[in-house]
Structure formats: structure tokens, C-alpha cells
Structure 1
């Protein structure tokens, strides 16, 4: 996305918290993100970094729950966070859609797959049941499911893992949304099917012009399909850059640690290098940079700001939330 282009999605200071018996869990803590039309951005980070909660907040899935969601989620200039549930229902599936991590639990077990896809289509289009059923069959064919008319009458448990994921993609894209959120869409699949699913998402994106947020812990997937990357830690963005820039010159110590912990295919041997320590407790967030306790470079900032002051997400094009970068 160019600097002058109006973003399709602009997330500003998004915060999501959940009340529990032990206190308030601050799952997302000032998330900022932009996405251009037709662009793919990877949302990466360790488990518990806030990736899935962020993606669910974008679709308004916490409305009507005890969760507190603040900040702006601007999609084509409309703040989704201010929409009442009826308005959000009209938006969900038509303007923004989601591929869930586990399609078996995301689909209803008592209804045929084709009827579930047709129901999504009829929710946003004034067509007959017969016409919607034909759209569902066509969509199953487009995502590569063989004999789609027969398979449309099948139930989710009768599909293999790869076929269920293809059906989930068909359901998410049947109304050609402007924005697709893919939450770990290939986690439970073998590498061959994973490659097929990623290629499929890319092909359908090219056809429809849909923007994609790829939520994943797999940096290899990011390198394959994304234009830009947003690295999350403790519920906020630590670094945002193009794929090439991030892999060539990661700016944040956390990103450097993630890349160093990846296995190498260049013939190097030895143990993997995990990031020492543990992510912050989201019940009791520490002051300053949330990564400071695990950062090997925190002591390099002479005035101790790493442990007292939250750094800003700053930079030109390549953004980093780090006091080391501010001092450079």
C-alpha cells in the first residue's frame, strides 16, 4: 500500500479485555494496523500474543459478551466497533469474512455443507433457495472440491480436513467480501495440502480483489503469501514492514528472536535458539516495553526507558516499537 493511498482497513488503538475471577485480562493493548485494497498482511507472533483476539474483534464477535472492546476499526471509513449487532450482521460475510482455524467446529454438524454456504449467500442477496444452492455448488467447484453437486449434500464430518478447509474458504468468499481474515488456515494440514490451500486463497484473491489478513505463527507461510508483516507481542504491534525488509533487516529484538528461532534449510546444524523467558502476564502488564524482560538489548538504553516507558510504533515505511530505534 502506498503512503498516499487511503487504506481499506485502519485499526487504531484497539484494546480488548476480558473480566475473569482473577482480574481483567488485557488481551489486546493498543493495536494499530492498516491494510490496502487487495493487499495481504501477515499477523504473526507467539501463542498468546493477541492475534486471534484481534481478528475476532475485527468481525465484532465480542459484541454481547462481557469483553470490553475500545478503539477504532475503520473499514472503508465505517467504524465497525460502533455498529450495533444487526448492522454488524449485515456487514459480516458481505464486507468482512473469516476462515476459522478449525472448520469442523466452525460448521454446523447437523446441516449439509452446501446448505450452509447457500444460507450465507441468501443472507446478503435476495435470491431463491434454489438459486443460492446453485451458487453454493459453483463455489465448491471453484475451491477445487470434486463432484461438487454431490458433496454439497454431504455433512462436515464426511469431509477430509483439506476438503473442510476448502468448504470453509468457499463459505467465507461466496459473497466476495472486501476483507478476508484467515486465522491459521493451514495449521492442522499436511504440507502438501497446506500449499494447495495457500495457492487457492491467492488465486481467489486475485479473482475478487479481496484484501487478506493471514493470522499465523508460521513465518514460512508469511514469506510465501504476504506483502507486509505485522509482528505482535503482548497484544500490540512491535514491528510492521514489507516481507522483504522484515526478513532482510528485522528492526525489533523480538522479531530478531523469532527469525533466529526458525529452523534453517541451508545445511546448518545445531539446536534451535528459542527466545529465553516467557511472554508477559496479561493480568498484570508491566510498565514500559512489554518485551523488556526478555530483550537482550534492553540494558543498552542508558536512561532505563525500556522498563518505564512504552515505546511508540515509529519509523518511515518500516515501523518498529523500540527505544533502541528511537535513539538511533
Structure 2
């Protein structure tokens, strides 16, 4: 197997608390090629954001206990110190945060913060950095970027703040961009504009992009592959079309069924029954077993006693005892389960 641009292997992130250890990420595996676009989806608490924060090195210096490997261009980022991580953060790996208003400093102008991000990784004058920041504001579609350079974050609309956040993340043209819920608080029209903007800038810079989102519609529109997380681990990963048309894991099937449909005149959503597992006390077997509608098809009690491995043929892999026990492809497994 050739080395990937990004290769996450058995990543585990634990947080000590007064109530016990929170196992936020439990053996996450992910590969990403240069220039590729993938989406990471799952319910709140599934480990999506913690995975991206760990990749950015934002948990260094905290109480988080991190193990496994994050191989970025062959270098393992997990053991790096805060000082060793700084050349990567912003320069090689950029991040669009979920809430730009809280991510930006309220006491500094938008332009100042963007130019400062540029100067951290480039030995240029303040004047040259300002020119780069104004150019970047123009590229992301901020009207009158020269005057807007001196505006504060609260003076921008939600869509403009998101554009400014994208400008800050891309000012150094990183090789990898992580977009954490980049369109959550935006209306549908602005959401489409932001997605088009990220895609066009990606084509200019050649960056790989990871979308962290709840929105399967966004994944279907802009991503090549999808990674489904549940209980801090990947339960299914595949080409987007293959994952949606030939779903291999019951949890992914539940997520797809919970999406609103134009064909349903009643407008009713189909929720996944039950609740995600407690990250303080993870079950011994499959993390989805208590909520799984097809666990009775497995001929023994493995769903409750054994943690299923991530397996499958080709690029479509899932973490389910059912497909393993039947010895069939993921698509045939789910057809048999219906």
C-alpha cells in the first residue's frame, strides 16, 4: 500500500474528568490523498471535532491523553511538541472553525487578524502582510476589502464572517484544509455560496479538504468520499455514491433515513431510536448494538461481546458483524437485512 498524504492510524483521545475517563476517540482510522475531498459525518458526540482538533494539534498542552499515529506527509504529528507543531498549524494545515464570531478576537480588526496569520509563517513587513490580507478578502468575496480590512468581527454579517474565516485559513495556502461545520449557521443561499467558494479556492491551491458536518447533503454535493463516525470510531467509509447507494452499516442507513425527503408529503423525519453510548463507559461489543435494528440477524451474541473490526473489499469498509458473518459484500448484506 502506497503512503497516503494523511494517514490516521488507531487514533485514541481520552479526557480525564471527575466522573472518569471520557473516551472521545476510540481507534479512528482514516486515509486521505493529496487534493482529495472527504466528509466526516455523525451525530454530536461521535468524535468528529475532537479528531480534527487533534489533527491540528489544538489539544497539545491540555489534559487530553492521545495515542496512535497521525502521519502527515510521513511525519507523525502525535508526539510533536507545541513548538514543533507550529510550522504545520496554519502553514500546512488550516482550519475553518464552526463559529467565526467566537474564533476571532473581538478586540482586533478582521484584517489585522488575517495579516497576523500570514506574518506568523512568512517573514514580510506589516505593509506586505496587509496587502496579502486585502487580496485574500477580495478573493473570498468581501465587498470593498480595503475599507473592510479595518472592520471588527461584530461588524460583519454571518456570511461575511465565514468568508473572513476562510480567508484566514487559506492566507498561507495550506496543503490540508479542515472545515468544521462551515455552513451550519447560514441560510441556504449563503451556504451554497460558501461551498462554491471553498471548492473554487481548493482548485486554485490544490489543497485537500476535510468537511466535518452533520449535513449529508453537503457531503453528497462536494465530497468524493465519506467517513461515518459513531462512538469515537469510523463505522463506515466509502466513495460517496457507493456509501449512499449501497449502505453497509446500519448506523449509516439510519442517518440516511433521517434526512428530510421531498417525496414524504407528511414531512416526517425518521429518527434513530435510542441514544449514543456513554463515552465514560463504552460497551464491550459493537458500540451501535443497543440501537441496531438488524442485530437479531447475527447468529450469536457477538454484537454485545466483541468489537467488530473495520473490514470490507476495496475502498468500501464497514465495522459490522452482520456483513462479516454473512461473508458477502456490504451491499448484499444490507439487502439481506431489509
**CA apart distance, 1:299:** 1.8
Comparing 297-306 with 203-212, greater Cα deviation is found at 297-306
- 1:324 equivalent in structure 2: 322
- 1:129 equivalent in structure 2: 126
- 1:230 equivalent in structure 2: 227
Counterpart selection for 1:310 from 307, 322, 328: 307
**CA apart distance, 1:77:** 0.5
The alignment status of 1:120 with 2:99, answered yes or no, reads: no
The alignment status of 1:204 with 2:197, answered yes or no, reads: no
- 1:36 equivalent in structure 2: 33
Whether the 8 Å contact between 2:106 and 2:154 is mirrored in structure 1 is yes
Secondary structure, aligned partner of 2:78: helix
Please list the CA deviations of residues 3-36 of structure 1 after superposition, one character each: whole Å capped at 9, or x if unmatched: x653211000001111111111001000000111
Comparing 209-218 with 268-277, greater Cα deviation is found at 268-277
Please list the CA deviations of residues 232-281 of structure 1 after superposition, one character each: whole Å capped at 9, or x if unmatched: 00000000001100111110000011111111123553532111000000
- 1:239 equivalent in structure 2: 236
Alignment of 1:154-173 (within 5 A): 154-173=151-170
Q: How far apart in 1 are the matches of 2:2 and 2:12? A: 26
- 2:140 equivalent in structure 1: 143
**CA apart distance, 1:302:** 1.2
Whether the 8 Å contact between 2:310 and 2:320 is mirrored in structure 1 is yes
Q: How far apart in 2 are the matches of 1:71 and 1:175? A: 28
Q: How far apart in 2 are the matches of 1:63 and 1:197? A: 30
Whether the 8 Å contact between 1:5 and 1:36 is mirrored in structure 2 is no
Whether the 8 Å contact between 2:181 and 2:212 is mirrored in structure 1 is yes
- 2:330 equivalent in structure 1: none
Whether the 8 Å contact between 2:41 and 2:213 is mirrored in structure 1 is yes
After superposition, the CA RMSD in angstroms is: 1.0
Moved over 6 A (4+): none
Q: How far apart in 2 are the matches of 1:147 and 1:306? A: 59
Q: How far apart in 2 are the matches of 1:51 and 1:123? A: 28
Whether the 8 Å contact between 2:251 and 2:288 is mirrored in structure 1 is yes
- 2:275 equivalent in structure 1: 278
**CA apart distance, 1:310:** 0.7
Q: How far apart in 2 are the matches of 1:31 and 1:42? A: 14
Whether the 8 Å contact between 1:12 and 1:71 is mirrored in structure 2 is yes
Change (3 A) 1:89 1:257: same
Counterpart selection for 2:59 from 57, 62, 78: 62
Whether the 8 Å contact between 1:239 and 1:251 is mirrored in structure 2 is yes
Q: How far apart in 2 are the matches of 1:8 and 1:107? A: 29
Whether the 8 Å contact between 1:6 and 1:36 is mirrored in structure 2 is no
Gaps of 5+ in 2: 328-338
Q: How far apart in 2 are the matches of 1:230 and 1:26? A: 19
Change (3 A) 1:219 1:150: same
| Count of equivalent residues | 325
Please list the CA deviations of residues 135-171 of structure 1 after superposition, one character each: whole Å capped at 9, or x if unmatched: 0000000000010010011110100000000000000
Q: How far apart in 2 are the matches of 1:218 and 1:142? A: 26
Please list the CA deviations of residues 201-257 of structure 1 after superposition, one character each: whole Å capped at 9, or x if unmatched: 000001001001100000000011100000000000000001100111110000011
